[in-house]
Amino acid sequence: MMVETLIPVLAAFLVVTIAPGPANIAVATVSMTHGRASGLRFGLGLGVGFAFWGLIAATGLGAVLQASAQAMIVLKLAGGCYLIWLAFITWRETGAEKTDLLVLSQKRWFLQGLLLNLSNPKAVVAWLAALAAGFGSNETLAQLLFATGLCIALGFVNYFSYALLFSLQACMRFYDRFSGFVSRTVAVFFAATGLAIVRSAFQRTP
């Protein structure tokens, strides 16, 4: 693969992936709240979900999905509602007191991370934008899949890095001290993002 093709793809992908969106903030919060093991499991789920959308985009199905108004509406509603649900349980959580729902979910971090990215409508658009940044009509399918695989690997590294960083003792002590503020700030972010996604599902594009 030519370097001038790969670099724009990786640059666009890194901008989208490293930015503190819902997935990164979620894995950071889980890691600070429940520790490294939970954060890594949650990050693994996020990575698998993000990889799924990457393969969808690389095979051309992402463009079909993006062009389908009905499919995007359903995906946006699912993603928005899931973020609002995450906002609800995050708001109720503090460092010292965890709801029964959160305690019961200790063994389901992978599934929660997977659902978060599978229900993320921006993932499709992000992948299409990243791949379109460097690919035209001259590149082969093998080159496209190679770039997609490399981006998927970077996605896993990103989520695991967030989990490892925010599960450090300093970060966990910070959360224990300011758990109420952190949880409510993250909850407001999730709720605002979820409501914005739901609202966008009912907006007509010109």
Q: How confident is the model at residue 157 (pLDDT cuts 50, 70, 90)?
A: very high
> What integer pLDDT is reported at residue 140 of this predicted model?
66
For CA atoms 106, 112, 113, 114, give the dihedral sign: positive
Q: Does residue 2 carry a pLDDT above 70?
A: no
Nearest CA to 160 among 77, 80, 64, 40?
Answer: 40
Q: Does residue 94 carry a pLDDT above 70?
A: no
Distance separating alpha carbons of residues 101 and 117, to the nearest angstrom:
21
pTM metric for this prediction: 0.77
Q: Does residue 113 carry a pLDDT above 70?
A: yes
* Long-range Cβ contacts of 183-186 (<8 Å, 24+ apart): 183/29, 183/33, 183/90, 183/91, 183/93, 183/94, 184/91, 186/25, 186/26, 186/29, 186/90
Nearest CA to 148 among 140, 163, 22?
Answer: 140
> What integer pLDDT is reported at residue 141 of this predicted model?
65
> What integer pLDDT is reported at residue 104 of this predicted model?
43
> What integer pLDDT is reported at residue 64 of this predicted model?
61
Q: Averaged over 143-172, what is the pLDDT? A: 89
> What integer pLDDT is reported at residue 63 of this predicted model?
61
> What integer pLDDT is reported at residue 88 of this predicted model?
84
Q: How far is C-alpha 105 from the chain's CA centre?
A: 19
> What integer pLDDT is reported at residue 67 of this predicted model?
63
Q: How confident is the model at residue 46 (pLDDT cuts 50, 70, 90)?
A: very high
> What integer pLDDT is reported at residue 48 of this predicted model?
94
Q: Averaged over 144-158, what is the pLDDT? A: 85
Comparing 120 with 156, the larger pLDDT belongs to 156
